Amino acid sequence: MTVEGVDYTVALDPDGFRLTAKGKRTPQVELLWRDLLSGEAALAVALNASLLDKRRPAKSRETEHSAAVKPRRTKTSKG
65 domain residue, yes or no? no
- Determine if the pTM surpasses 0.75: no
69 domain residue, yes or no? no
Residues 6+ apart with CB under 8 A from 48: 28, 29, 30, 31
Q: In a structure prediction context, what are the per-residue pLDDT tens digits for the chain, which is 79 residues long? A: 998 898 999 999 999 999 999 999 998 888 888 888 887 777 767 777 777 766 655 555 455 555 555 444 555 555 5
Residue 10 structural domain: 2-57
Report the C-alpha gap between 49 and 15 in whole angstroms: 19
Q: If you ran DSSP here, which 8-state letter would residue 73 be given?
A: P
H-type alpha helices, 1-79:
33-38, 41-55, 58-68
18 domain residue, yes or no? yes
77 domain residue, yes or no? no
Domains in the chain, number: 1
64 domain residue, yes or no? no
